[in-house]
Amino acid sequence: MPQNVRIALDAMGGDFGPSVVIAGAAIALGRHPDIEFLLYGDSKLIEKELAGYPALRKVSRVIHSDVAVAMHDKPSVALRRGRYKSSMWQAIDAVKKAEADVTVSAGNTGALMAMARFCLRTLPGIDRPAIAATWPTMRGDSVVLDLGASIGGDAQHLKALAIMGAAMASVLFDLERPTVGLLNIGVEEIKGGDEVREAAELLRAMNSPRFDFIGFVEGDGIGKGAADVIVSEGFAGNIALKAAEGTARQLAEYLRAAMSRTWRSKIGYLFARDAFKALKEKMDPNKSNGGVFLGLNGIVVKSHGGTNAEGFASAVDVGYDMVRYDLLTKINQTLNRDAGALVATPSAQEAVS
């Protein structure tokens, strides 16, 4: 375990680039003083932002890059033009070269996945990594994957996601046998597409001693915490994530409007503001920002592109925890036990969300 956690940041990634990345890094440093940062991108822009954070400047090294991957770039184009030169590639390559312990980027999802796969390669038996994240629920946190790393997937791919997600949950939540459910349009066995129903049959037949497959879970079951692990292909998983984030912001706005409508509601808010503050923090999507690319020979964390500084700091927190608690090694050990059940699947179109 390194004395300090070395985090490589794609400073040009996301909708706002260095302004949010640097501010978020400063917040994360305040929470974890044992962090060292490698900042990849336009050195002039990075240094301008760093000037406002002297403590961060002392623990950071800036590596200049003239190339930044745009949020609208197709993965194939980004890989062809940005390989070896872009801030995104260099941040990932730092992990491969053991110069950094983890990479965090808010950049183009599809490009990040393509570069991470090309640079770091995948674990044996894993053809496509997945974005896995913890999801706050009514009964605690759940692991949900895939949240948009790739689109589509057959039954074998969903089976691999279940194995990886269960491994992550067992480590994060200290569970001997986490429950696993497949996201579907209904809980009945006849519901859903062929690949989902076939995946359910494979998981039942597998009868793994390391997780308990409970069957199908509907969309509302995610928030209820119906299972410790919720498995979906990336298209549906990303829609579920964005819908949940939008709903959280909608409810927060409804509450704000209701509490300011009349003098009675304003007085009521004064008495209950601590409760409302706690509710707001619980519903804030930025508090749970940061998805791990599970299945790679290295740690890459994807932050939402439109997040604020606090949200980016949360993504850095995820990367920090993955390193400090040596979760990657523990997850890989668990995956190796089920190596015979992992079957590589054909590639699918990369997401560009």
The pLDDT tens digits for 312-327 are: 999 999 999 889 888 7
Residue, of 187 and 1, whose pLDDT is higher: 187
What are phi and psi for residue 222, nearest 5 degrees? -65, -55
346 pLDDT band, cuts 50/70/90, is very low
Let me know if 215 is exposed, middle or buried by CB neighbors in 10 A (0-12, 13-18, 19+).
middle
Residue 301 — pLDDT band, cuts 50, 70, 90?
very high
Indicate if the pLDDT at residue 293 is higher than 80: yes
Q: Which residue has the higher pLDDT, 352 or 117?
A: 117
Average pLDDT, stretch 110-125?
A: 89
Question: Nearest Cα to 132, choosing from 113, 154, 107?
Answer: 113
Percent of the chain scoring above 70 in pLDDT: 87
At 73, the pLDDT band (50, 70, 90 cuts) reads confident
As a whole number, mean pLDDT of residues 107-113 equals 91
Model confidence at 231: pLDDT above 80: yes
Instruction: Tell me: pLDDT of 338 over 70.
Output: no
Instruction: For the chain, give the number of residues.
Output: 353
Instruction: Quote the pLDDT of residue 351.
Output: 42
Cβ atoms of 108 and 76 closer than 8 Å? no
| Out of 21-25, 225-229, 247-251, 280-284, least confident range | 280-284
Residue type, 343: V
**pTM of the complete model:** 0.83
What band does 285 get if pLDDT is binned at 50, 70 and 90?
low
Superfamily of domain 5-341 in the CATH hierarchy = Isopropylmalate Dehydrogenase (3.40.718.10)
- 152, pLDDT greater than 50: yes
Helices 309-324, 327-337: axis angle to 10 degrees equals: 60
The residue extents of the domains of the chain are 5-341
pLDDT at 350: 42
Per-residue confidence (pLDDT) for residue 332, from 0 to 100: 74
Burial 272-305 (b: 16+ CB within 10 A, else e): eeeeeeeebeebbbbbbbbbbbbbbbbbbbbbbb
Nearest-angstrom CA–CA distance, 75 and 117? 11
pLDDT category of residue 274 using cuts at 50, 70 and 90: low
- What is the rounded CA–CA span in Å between residue 311 and residue 16? 12
- Select, from the ranges 34-43, 123-132, 191-200, 333-342, the one with the highest average predicted confidence (pLDDT): 34-43
With a CB cutoff of 8 Å and minimum separation 6, the contacts of 162 are 180, 182, 199, 203, 211, 213, 229, 231
Neighbour tally for 188: CB within 10 Å: 10
Please check the confidence at residue 342 and state whether its pLDDT lies above 70.
no
Tokens of residue 13, six digits: 């990634």
Q: Find residue 230's DSSP bridge partners.
A: 144, 181
* Mean pLDDT score across all residues of the chain: 85
